[in-house]
Structure 1
Amino acid sequence: MKVAALDLGTNTFLCLIAEGDRNGITKVHKDLVEVVRLGQGVDKTGELHPEALARARKCLTEFKKEIDRHHVDKILAMATSAARDARNGQELFDIGKELGIPIEVIPGEDEARISYQGATGGVIDPTKTNLVLDVGGGSTELIVGHGDKILFGESLNIGGVRLTERFVTQQPIAEQEQQKLRHYIDGELKKVLSEIQKNKPDQIIAVAGTPTAIAAAEIGGFDEKKVDKYVLTKEHLKFWVTEFSQTSVEEKRSKYHLGGRADIIFAGASILLAVVEALNMNGLLVSTKGVRYGVALEMLRSGSRS
């Protein structure tokens, strides 16, 4: 069976076209990524911005052309934080309907499982307890699992776009703004820290654009084989948080090829570092997988979703 699994995030839209069966993914045909910034202004206005919806339409139109070229059997798009938070979120669903792309909001009870399965690519070491850390544009998911069993999962309203819009007024970033942003992250993490510590994770697996972009910056360019399972140490994360705070958006784009992520990378890196420090870990493991892999696995395994 061939499926198209889309992850419509607050900052980035992703589309995975893959083949497989109930046992998992056997071949990846395309893995498309586009910075859409769907969450533009949502934290302040509570609505999806017309410009963001126009970018979403353009991106999904291009994704649909690629999907049609591959003659997939099933399509499913999962919308996350921005669509959940926005009063006019229905407009995004209407765009999907027009284009023949079914869009669903990930139900709370399924989100942890889908994110966890996706981050591990469905290949899970049964001897390890993992903390999957998915830093998005509007929210951050923290899911603890042992083998393929979910032990704990929570979504916090901290994300790269949300925190940047709330706390950062210029870049380089003033010390006071850095402190306020970090203080807010630490306050949110306190809500879940004891539950995570109780389950004693052996390692952190970080997914989404922030960790993969930082790993790519360290190795001098994005190479999926090198970025996947790359180790970002606590000391290196501290370096990047400092570096991103002291550079302009344009410097971050030109020096580290961060593209549409350049203005929010400081907030995303700050979340990664805060979690590593809160759990007293030495670093984290980067995964190039994520929700889209979890959505693909859901379709392949269920055989009934459309």
Structure 2
Amino acid sequence: MRAAAIDIGSNAVRLMIADVEDGKIVNIVHKDRHVTKLAEVLSTKGILSDASIEKTMNALRLFAEAMTLHGAERFHAVATSAVREARNSNILIEAAGRLGINIQVIDGTVEAGLIFSGVCSAVDTTGRKALVFDIGGGSTEFIYAEPGQEHRKLSVPMGVVKMAERYDFSGVLDMEQMDRIRIPLFGVLNEVVNALDCKPDMLIGSAGTPTTLAAIEMHMENYDQIKVNGFDIKKHQIEKILEKLCAITAEERLLVPGMEAGRQEVLIPGILITLELMSILGIEDLTVSDFGLREGLVVAVANA
């Protein structure tokens, strides 16, 4: 079955077209991704900006063309935090509908389940107590898996676009300032760890923050999904990357090998979340997954 999945996130819109057999992705036919920052004014205005809606619609038009070109037999589009929360999300949903793309707005629990399904198709968690976290633009999802136990899931309205709207990450940054930002993060993440009652021996990060960290650590000029999937990065390596990025402006960060355009300001809040979570858990290693919601969704579409 050739299926397509569209993930309309709070920071980026992503497409995957893949051949799926027996619940597994056997061939990735086409992928595309556009940074649209749907959540850029959500915290202050409670709406999706006109500019972000236009960017998203431009991306969806390209996705529709690609699905036709590559012969997708079935497709589905889901939207997450920003569209869930915005008062004017109907504008985007109706415009996409006129394009023939019906958007399903999913809650955090469904989102977390799809993320875990996608991650497990890339990273082996067999026999491990694994905590998966996915930092989005408007929310972060957590899934704790322990052998013999039902998975525990939690979604919190904490994301990198929201944080970038609250704090200015565009210039050279003081590390003491970063420590002050981490203080409220501790409260949120400590509650998450307690609510999930988790003691993982494996921490897995999906979405743009961990994958970009992996790409930067490997000095990637051209992103390589195969090398990123399953890559292990140490806490002290992440701390060094944070120091390096804080010492230069957002424009200069674009010159760092592995840095994706559009992530030069939102990567730093993602790193702060990651480091605070690792500190709370006492974990020194992060396993990176390039696969996440989009991959879990494409499998679900094929199996529908």
> 1:125, CA displacement in angstroms?
3.5
Shift of 1:56: 0.6
Amino acid at match of 1:214: L
Distance 2:14 2:170 in 1: 28
> Does 111-120 or 6-15 show the bigger shift?
111-120
Conserved 8 A contact 1:167-1:180? no
Q: Name the residue aligned to 1:8.
A: 8
In the TM superposition, residue 165 of structure 1 has moved relative to its aligned partner by 0.9
| Structure 1 position 117 matched with structure 2 position 121 | no
In the alignment, structure 2 segments of 5+ residues that lack a partner are none
1:220-256 Cα deviation digits (max 9, x unpaired): 2121121111111110111122222221001110123
Could you report, residue by residue, the CA deviation over 1:46-68 in whole angstroms, capped at 9, with x for unpaired residues? 00000011101111111111111
Match of 2:28 in 1: 28
Equivalent residue number for residue 290 of structure 2: 288
Does the residue aligned with 1:254 lie in a helix, a strand or coil? Answer: coil
Cα distance per residue 1:271-291 (max 9 Å; x no partner): 111111110001210111010
Provide the secondary structure at the position in 2 that maps to 1:76. strand
Please name the residue that 2:198 is paired with: 199
Does 2:209 match 1:210? Answer: yes
Aligned-pair identity in percent equals: 29
- Cα 1:173–1:123, aligned 2, differ >3 Å: closer, same or farther? closer
- Confirm or deny: 8 A CA contact 2:206 2:288 kept in the other structure: yes
Q: CA RMSD in A?
A: 1.8
The match for 1:251 is 252
Aligned with 1:255: secondary structure? coil
The structural deviation recorded for 1:212 is 0.8
Matched residue of 2:254: which SS? helix
Range that drifts further, 153-162 or 103-112: 103-112
Provide closer, same or farther for how the CA distance between residues 206 and 169 of structure 1 changes in structure 2, counting only shifts above 3 A: closer
The one-letter code sitting in structure 1 at the alignment partner of 2:233 is: L
Residue 152 (structure 1) shift: 1.4
Report the TM-score, using the length of structure 2 for normalisation: 0.93
Q: For 1:179-205, what per-residue CA distance to the aligned partner results, in whole angstroms no more than 9, with x for missing partners?
A: 342112112112212234x33222111
Q: What is aligned with 1:90?
A: 90
Cα 1:122–1:213 shift into 2, 3 Å? closer
Question: Structure 1-normalised TM-score?
Answer: 0.92
